[in-house]
Structure 1
Amino acid sequence: MNIANKITVSRFGLTLVFVVLAQFDSNAFFRWAALLVAITAALSDFLDGYLARKHKLITDFGKLMDPLADKILVAAAFFVLCKKSVIPDWFAIIIVTREFAVTGLRQIAASKNIIIQADKFGKIKTVLQFTYLGIIALFWTIKGNTQVIHNKNLSTFINILMLVTAYITLTSGYRYFTNNKNLFNKNI
């Protein structure tokens, strides 16, 4: 297993550590530790992609596992923050549904020996999700909750970012299905 794939696999473990630490959120130390682990996991996504491209370490394993590791990290973060009433339920449902629908499509493709890589739109979606999660998780880490954001400009920015992220997430998912409808239609 090459270094890029090892970093990808480490994201699964980091996600588990994040979830465990976040359960002890009444203590600021654990919130900060959870945030640090989540940031490390998110940054590992950029590092493994950089290393894979730079050193020509792109493999079918990486093409499948890298997006899966991202989806599990994002789903875990959204579920944790939803459970803590930090983000709205509807938003978490949109994000997680899209993530697993695209994963299902990738599974159908993989069963036919076709690899569906993340496109640029999907990468923008990932950056937006990580940015939103980073901002909201930082506020949660500092305050212990985000239910009352007293700064109107910050609240407006976070809500706009949430809506843009939801829109790009849905649009990206739609593009995966329309660009690969031949795989999808053959299996209905």
Structure 2
Amino acid sequence: MNTPNKLTMLRILLIPVFVLFMLGGDFIPYNYVGAIVVFIAASLTDLFDGRIARKRDIVTNFGKFLDPLADKSLVISAFICLQAFGLVNPVVVIILVMREFLVTSLRLIAVGDGKVIAADIFGKVKTVIQMFSIIALLLMLCLIQVMDMTFLASSLTTAASVLSWLCAAAAVVSGANYLIKNRHCIDAKS
């Protein structure tokens, strides 16, 4: 259990804490502040685990398996929580989940053939858009809650709609790119 894998495990352990803050509004004062702090901390573990693993040359199969699972779980959990508040259209969440199933399935098929499908620029851009969108929406929720900026409520709804559909578009483009580049993995002749 090296440092990058410990950071990945920490990210997984932070997901239920994040969800608790997001959904615990009646029981946890300033729950959105806690949610954004936990989300940013979890996101930073993603940034550091990869850098450390590559720098120290300690990339493991355990890390290759668990890291993407932790990333997807964190992002999907955030979008499901935001959808529960009516800030994200359920169709967006379905698109995001379907994209993750598609890419994960392609990767599993490729692994069976002894190949690795690495993240490409489209996948990385999609991730950046998702992280930025989640943090921006959480920040707006914090401002409304902590500073009683209720006038931001209509802006939050608009921002949530624009950002979530932007995330959906990035997911579709990224998913289509993975599918086109790796269609040989699911060729009917195979």
- Normalising by structure 2, we get a TM-score of 0.84
Deviation at 1:29, TM superposition (A): 2.4
- After superposition, residues 121-132 of structure 1 pair within 5 angstroms as 121-132=122-133
RMSD of equivalent CA atoms: 2.6
- Could you say if the C-alpha distance between residues 82 and 168 of structure 1 is closer, same or farther in structure 2, counting changes exceeding 3 Å? same
Residues of 2 paired with 1:95 and 1:159: CA distance?
14
* Counterpart position of 1:3: 3
Unaligned runs of 5+ in 2: none
* Counterpart position of 1:51: 52
* Counterpart position of 2:154: 149
| 1:48-97 Cα shifts (integer Å, max 9, x gaps) | 11111222222233223212211111111111110121222222222122
Residues of 1 paired with 2:44 and 2:178: CA distance?
24
| 1:83-116 Cα shifts (integer Å, max 9, x gaps) | 1212222222221221222122222223333332
* Counterpart position of 2:136: 135
Given that 1:28 and 1:141 are in contact with CA atoms closer than 8 Å, whether structure 2 keeps it comes out as no
* Counterpart position of 1:183: 185
Decide which moves more: 102-111 or 171-180.
Answer: 102-111
Residues of 2 paired with 1:84 and 1:158: CA distance?
11
Unaligned runs of 5+ in 1: none
* Counterpart position of 2:32: 31
Given that 1:15 and 1:73 are in contact with CA atoms closer than 8 Å, whether structure 2 keeps it comes out as yes
Residues of 2 paired with 1:90 and 1:54: CA distance?
39
Deviation beyond 4 Å, 4+ runs, structure 1? 144-147, 157-160
- Secondary structure of the residue aligned to 2:119 is coil
- Could you say if the C-alpha distance between residues 88 and 61 of structure 1 is closer, same or farther in structure 2, counting changes exceeding 3 Å? same
* Counterpart position of 1:17: 17
Residues of 2 paired with 1:17 and 1:186: CA distance?
43
Identity of matched residues, %? 35
Which residue identity does 1:132 align to in structure 2? S
Deviation at 1:160, TM superposition (A): 4.4
Query: When the two structures are aligned, how many residues end up with a matched partner?
Result: 185
- Could you say if the C-alpha distance between residues 162 and 22 of structure 1 is closer, same or farther in structure 2, counting changes exceeding 3 Å? closer
Residues of 2 paired with 1:186 and 1:85: CA distance?
41
Given that 1:98 and 1:169 are in contact with CA atoms closer than 8 Å, whether structure 2 keeps it comes out as yes
- Could you say if the C-alpha distance between residues 150 and 136 of structure 1 is closer, same or farther in structure 2, counting changes exceeding 3 Å? closer
- Normalising by structure 1, we get a TM-score of 0.85
Which residue identity does 2:36 align to in structure 1? L
